Amino acid sequence: MAQVDFGWMVPVGSDNAHRQEFLQQLRQGLAMIAGHFDSVWFPDHLQFDDQPFLEGWTALTYLAALQPDLKYGHIVLCQLFRNPALLAKMCATFQFMSQGNFIAGIGAGWNEAECIAYHIPFPAPGQRVTELDEALQIMKALWREDHVTFEGKYHQVTNAFCQPKPDPLPPIMVAAFQPRMMRLVARHADWWNTGFKDIQSLQEQTKMLDAACEAIGRDPATVKRTAMIRCSCAPNEQKLKELVEKDPSPFGPGITGTPQQVAEQLHELVEHGLSYFMLSAGGFPDPTTLELLTHEVLPLLNK
């Protein structure tokens, strides 16, 4: 079985009254996973109702300075928020400052409510995908070439220059669920990311991705397959019930169970082609899930 890697999706924010406690727990979490997990991930959203929510680029930069031995990425950057040439420059700078530990996760954008609130244009799905395609062309060109000129339908650059170049080139990870986005993954991405729902949906998405790769002559095995998953893990049923009830998720409970049960569920996903899991281990202050993922579940998967 292929090596399985974990990434930690850190909690997204805390109110000012608990700021010092939140920051201390972030540092403790990073210290716990260092040497075990491969990476740290932060989402790129501006608001969800009235929930405290830190800005993604700023938060990820702070985290990378705290624990430079891990890799860092967004899950995923919203291409609607930033000019793609500026985004290419930001990625190149992060790659330079992190000494090559950046993963460029990006998507077409989906949360219309936050775009309306922040007065950011939110076009139809087809345009968003085309915009992302153009953005990725610009980003890749600026990372490889000097004096880039690009004339797309939605994005343009003229004699654009990006130095220092990212070294090595950051892996591009695209979040995709539908056929047109899968074709974009096949053309541009090193990694594919999905949100796990059930095995049937995963199989359907995998078939779409394989077909998109084969249509352009790309070996489907060259795309790393990753999944974002909510996880609650505890040593017994009583503690597990407490964790799930204390920190409910609008996207459902995800994977739950004892370390052995969680490892078995993840192993099934590995058998369907996934090898990298970005895991949300619940909020602070209870570190139970993160501790068990680090010291019991990951070793079980890679024994």
Query: Mind listing the pLDDT tens digit for each residue in 56-66?
Result: 999 999 999 99
Residue 83: Cβ within 10 Å count = 14
Radius of gyration over every alpha carbon of the chain, rounded to an integer in angstroms: 19
CA dist 278 and 293 (Å) reads 12
- Type of residue at 233: C
Segment 116-132 shows an average pLDDT of: 98
* Whole-angstrom distance, CA of residue 109 vs CA of residue 134: 14
Confidence (pLDDT) at 248: 66
The 3-state DSSP class for residue 102 equals: strand
What is the rounded average pLDDT of the residues 268-291?
94
Predicted pLDDT of residue 143: 98
pLDDT tens-digit map of 68-98:
999 999 999 999 999 999 999 999 999 999 9
Helix (H) or strand (E) holding 284: none
Within 10 Å of residue 13's Cβ, how many Cβ atoms?
Answer: 15
Domains in the chain (CATH in brackets) are 5-301 (3.20.20.30)
pLDDT in tens, 237-251: 999 999 988 876 656
Q: What is the mean pLDDT of residues 168-197?
A: 97
pLDDT bucket at 285, cuts 50 / 70 / 90: confident
**How far is 131 from 32, CA to CA, in rounded Å?**
39
H helix runs in 77-235, sequence order? 84-97, 112-117, 125-144, 179-188, 199-215
Q: Given a cut of 80, is residue 133 above it in pLDDT?
A: yes
- CA 98-133-218 angle, to 5 degrees, is 85
Give the Å distances, CA to CA, from 165 to 72, 239, 288.
18, 48, 41
Residue 222 has what DSSP assignment?
G
What single-letter amino acid sits at 266?
Answer: L
What would the two tokens of residue 175 be?
């979040």
How far is it, in rounded angstroms, from Cα 146 to Cα 162? Answer: 7
d(CA 171, CA 164): 17
Classify residue 118 as exposed, middle or buried by CB count within 10 Å of its CB (0-12, 13-18, 19+).
Answer: exposed
Q: Is the pTM of this model over 0.85?
A: yes
CA distance 292 to 278: 15
Residues 6+ apart with CB under 8 A from 15: 52
